[in-house]
């Protein structure tokens, strides 16, 4: 009975999707970091020639991060404009951003920027980059990333992508967007459910489960060529694909031999081997950042909990002990934090476990959270939740202080996954 209930619960969490009008995501910020850095961002000179406004994108990125207090300069300053550092120091700015945009003869745009320190009267960073009309937004995100890294000491997550599943009428869509929800592209349309998308480490492919053949089948799709490869189409359920850090292997949950167990295969589906052998249900595998271990969900102790074992086998070790129902493990890229969904007091909420100290923290106060996914810099977790009785995506910092919600005008959105840093 426990195993059947566990399977039904997992299925319910994975398949809660309803109608969504196709629209860009709207960002709502609630909560800020403990110590916000006051930063002045001047309007980029001549940016009106570009299809997107660089200044607005940078401001939105940094505000969304929760770690910056934006000071509106009220004026335009290029990277060559003389700077009165005392003036900006008096206005309380710890940092000043200036820049410009110029249209090149070949149709591209030259985007230049400088990051200045008014307190020390010095330049902290700066660079120029040529971007095609469809990559001006990416150029702005790269500037945001550089500012974030120079001021916080951690690589910024803005020039990355997210993927998620929407349902419009009877059509399911696997969509890819920028980290801020802009630039939406449809990777796959299907009349049947699509679940569990997972980015390849190089950001060029997505693995996912599609029900287009009236059963769950694991595919890998190249996002550039749109070529698809069937990775697992065995008897029973084929589910929960997860990439190894080097992209050479995929972990899977298969019921081909009875109860659902963990398997590992090459990225093309070849070389399949079974990893777990239990009398319970083992599912939702995730590789550790070093590729040497697998985290997974199992009900072998009676209720679903999270376990860890070596990729070559060995005795599984239980990781979660608080709460009687813990599912959907996700390990941060730096290997320090385990995120998961825990059912307590009747609600599903996002938790984070510091693996070194064993300290557990509840990160959300909603009751229908699912599908956590770490940002590649390990600072944030993207997950699905509800906002105004509709499915939405949300982001929370690993310390729980910074919270943002990405919603649409109507309908639901589910199954998010945050992509890797791009080369």
Distance CA 108, CA 129 (A): 10
> In degrees rounded to 5, what are phi and psi of residue 135?
-125, 15
Q: What is the largest CA-CA distance in the chain?
A: 73
User: Domain 2-17+160-418: what homologous superfamily?
Assistant: TolB, C-terminal domain (2.120.10.30)
- For residues 60 and 69, give the distance between their C-alpha atoms in angstroms, rounded to a whole number: 11
Nearest to 124 by CA among 115, 132, 133: 115
| Among candidate residues 157, 243, 256, the one with its CA nearest the CA of residue 205 | 243
Tokens of 122: 């010095």
pLDDT of residue 410: 52
Instruction: Please give the pLDDT value at position 411.
Output: 56
Distance of alpha carbon 194 from alpha carbon 421, whole angstroms = 24
Specify the pLDDT at position 225: 94
> At a CB cut-off of 8 Å and minimum separation 6, what does 312 contact?
none
pLDDT at 20: 31
DSSP state of 151: H
Indicate the Cα dihedral angle 236, 12, 348, 417, nearest 10°: 70
d(CA 271, CA 71): 56
**Per-residue pLDDT, 30:** 58
**DSSP string covering 62-104, please?**
HHHHSSEEEEEEEEE--TTS---HHHHHHTT-SEEEEEEEEE-
The span from the CA of 281 to the CA of 330, in Å, is 18
Angle at 354 between CA 352 and CA 360, to 5 degrees: 55
Q: Which is nearest to 384 in space by CA: 214, 189, 162, 188?
A: 162
* pLDDT profile of the chain (423 residues), mean per 10: 42 35 51 80 96 96 94 92 95 97 97 97 97 96 98 96 90 93 92 97 98 96 96 97 98 96 97 96 98 97 96 95 96 98 93 96 91 97 85 91 75 90 86
Spatial contact of 230 and 217, defined as CB atoms under 8 Å apart: yes
Domain ranges of the chain: 2-17+160-418, 35-152
Instruction: Say which CATH architecture domain 35-152 belongs to.
Output: 3-Layer(aba) Sandwich (3.40)
């Amino acid at each position: 009975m426990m195993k059947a209930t566990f399977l039904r619960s997992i299925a319910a969490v994975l398949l809660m999707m309803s109608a969504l009008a196709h629209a860009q995501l709207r960002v709502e910020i609630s909560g800020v970091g403990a110590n916000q850095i006051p930063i002045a961002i001047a309007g980029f000179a001549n940016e009106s020639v570009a299809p997107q406004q660089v200044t607005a994108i940078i401001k939105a990125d940094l505000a969304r991060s929760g770690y910056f207090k934006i000071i509106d300069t009220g004026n335009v300053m290029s990277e060559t404009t003389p700077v009165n550092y005392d003036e900006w120091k008096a206005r309380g700015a710890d940092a000043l951003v200036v820049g410009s945009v110029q249209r090149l003869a070949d149709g591209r745009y030259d985007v230049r920027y400088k990051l200045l320190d008014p307190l020390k009267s010095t330049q902290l960073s700066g660079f120029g980059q040529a971007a095609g009309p469809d990559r001006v937004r990416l150029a702005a995100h790269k500037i945001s990333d550089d500012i974030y890294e120079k001021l916080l000491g951690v690589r910024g997550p803005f020039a990355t992508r997210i993927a998620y599943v929407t349902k419009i009428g009877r059509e399911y869509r696997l969509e890819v967007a920028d980290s801020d929800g802009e630039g939406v592209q449809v990777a796959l349309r299907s009349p049947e459910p699509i679940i569990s998308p997972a980015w390849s480490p190089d950001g060029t492919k997505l693995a996912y489960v599609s029900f287009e053949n009236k059963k769950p089948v694991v595919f890998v799709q190249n996002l550039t060529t749109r070529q698809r490869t069937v990775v697992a189409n065995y008897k029973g359920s084929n589910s929960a694909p997860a990439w190894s850090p080097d992209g050479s292997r995929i972990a899977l949950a298969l019921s081909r031999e009875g109860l659902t167990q963990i398997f590992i295969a090459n990225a093309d589906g070849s070389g399949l081997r079974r990893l777990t052998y239990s009398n319970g249900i083992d599912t939702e595998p995730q590789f550790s950042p070093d590729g040497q271990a697998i985290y997974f969900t199992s009900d072998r102790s009676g209720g679903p909990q999270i376990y860890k074992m070596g990729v070559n086998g060995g005795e599984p070790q239980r990781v979660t002990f608080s709460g009687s129902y813990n599912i959907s493990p996700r390990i941060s890229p730096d290997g320090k934090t385990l995120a998961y969904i825990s059912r307590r007091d009747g609600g599903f909420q996002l938790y984070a476990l510091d693996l070194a100290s064993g300290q557990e923290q509840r990160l959300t106060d909603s009751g229908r959270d699912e599908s956590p996914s770490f940002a590649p810099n390990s600072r944030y977790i993207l997950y699905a939740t509800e906002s105004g009785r509709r499915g939405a995506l949300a982001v929370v910092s690993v310390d729980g202080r910074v919270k943002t919600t990405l919603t649409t005008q109507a309908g639901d959105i589910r199954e998010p996954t945050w992509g890797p840093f791009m080369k």
